[in-house]
Amino acid sequence: MDIPFHLHLDVIGIAAALIAGYEIGIRILGPRYCPEDERPVAGWRRGLFYAGVIILVLVSTWPVHDIAEGRLFLFHMIEHIALALIVPPLLLGGTPWWLMRAVVAPIMPVVKFITRPLIALVLFNAWLAFIHVPAVVELMITNELFHFLAHAILFVSAIIMWWPVMDPIPDTQRLTPFGKMGYLFLQSLVPTIPASFMTLGSTPLYAMYVAFPRLWGIDAMTDQILAGLLMKVGGGLILWGFITWIFFSWYAEEQKFETGPVVVPIK
């Protein structure tokens, strides 16, 4: 694999800032904002947060990012799937509610508006569709700054999209379990549109990837089809995994309050 090692200092800096902000926030803001009867952060929650940061670094640095920029569109899709469907729920689920509330408090009216389910879906999917337009993909590959901004906006819009599902704070609009399942079902449908163009087309959509040196013998058309399948099937499996988790969590909660049969003693 002729992909020279490249240390992505921008990604390392972002990861370091996330970890520093998280740990400093827990230690400094915890005594002020965390309720006295709660632990500042549970161990499993901290594990989710760090898993999100690790995956963010893995998909945004060498070799994944470098292969995505100069060899295979499939790896570009791996980046997008991770930034949109894996890292955001891990970071949201790993952040204590009191810390998240303290962070967004200065912009709470904006947060309440943009995290309304319909608005969140539109914002995320509009940007997702935009960054898969061939001309935009070419600009991302040729302009490093635009590529960084495109991924940053994708990540932020994904945080917004996941917000109604993860319920990170009690102040914003909350969906019922069935509302969350319906919301994620809709989200699973939208990406099938650009994925269909990739998998069903007869010619490559992204001319730049045709000109790139081939890696592992994967031709441009196969690369595009694999990327489309990952977007459609891989992304769908992640979303349906969350739907399944929500359903069984709701079912288990309902079982706690279900009373058994009443036994009437015979006199």
Q: Residue 154's closest CA among 188, 119, 130, 180?
A: 130
Residue 41, pLDDT > 80, answer yes
Average pLDDT score over residue span 154-182? 96
Domain for residue 52, yes or no? Answer: yes
Structure confidence by residue, pLDDT tens digits, 110-160: 999 999 999 999 999 999 999 999 999 999 999 999 999 999 999 999 999
pTM exceeds 0.85 for this model: yes
pLDDT at 257 over 80: no
What is the chain's mean pLDDT, rounded?
93
Domain annotation covers residue 3: no
| Helix spans in 105-234 (H) | 108-114, 117-130, 134-142, 144-166, 177-189, 192-200, 207-211, 220-229
Residue 131 in any domain: the answer is yes
| Per-residue model confidence as pLDDT tens digits over 67-100 | 999 999 999 999 999 999 999 999 999 999 999 9
CB 164 within 8 A of CB 178: no
Q: What is the pLDDT of residue 261?
A: 57
Domain that residue 111 falls in: 9-253
Long-range contacts of 239-247 (CB under 8 A, 24+ apart): 239/85, 239/184, 239/185, 239/187, 239/188, 240/184, 240/188, 242/89, 242/165, 242/184, 243/180, 243/181, 243/184, 243/185, 246/165, 246/177, 246/180, 246/181, 246/184, 247/177, 247/181
CB 223 within 8 A of CB 231: no
Residue 236 domain flag: yes
pLDDT band at 262; cut points 50, 70, 90: low
Categorize the per-residue pLDDT at 1 as very low, low, confident or very high, splitting at 50, 70 and 90: low
148: phi then psi, degrees, rounded to nearest 5:
-60, -45
**pLDDT of 256 strictly over 90:** no
Which amino acid makes up residue 52? G
Predicted confidence at residue 4, as pLDDT, reads: 83
How much is the CA Rg of the chain, to the nearest whole Å?
A: 21
Q: For position 267, what pLDDT does the model report?
A: 54
Q: In this predicted structure, which of 87-91, 185-189, 243-247, 256-260 has the lowest mean pLDDT?
A: 256-260
Q: Which residues contact 249 (CB under 8 A, 6 or more apart)?
A: 177
pLDDT value of residue 255: 82
Residue 261 domain flag: no
**Domain count within the chain:** 1
How far CA 24 is from CA of 11, 19, 99, 164, 193, in Å, comes to: 20, 8, 11, 26, 42
In a domain, 218, yes or no: yes
Evaluate whether residue 258 is within a structural domain.
Answer: no
pLDDT on residue 237: 96
Kindly tell me if the per-residue pLDDT of 260 is higher than 60.
no
- Alpha-carbon span 116 to 241, nearest angstrom: 22
Six-digit token pair at 12? 């390392």
Most confident of 32-36, 54-58, 170-174: 54-58
Rounding to the nearest 10 degrees, give the CA dihedral for residues 200, 128, 17, 58: 0
Asked, for residue 102, whether it belongs to a domain, the answer is yes
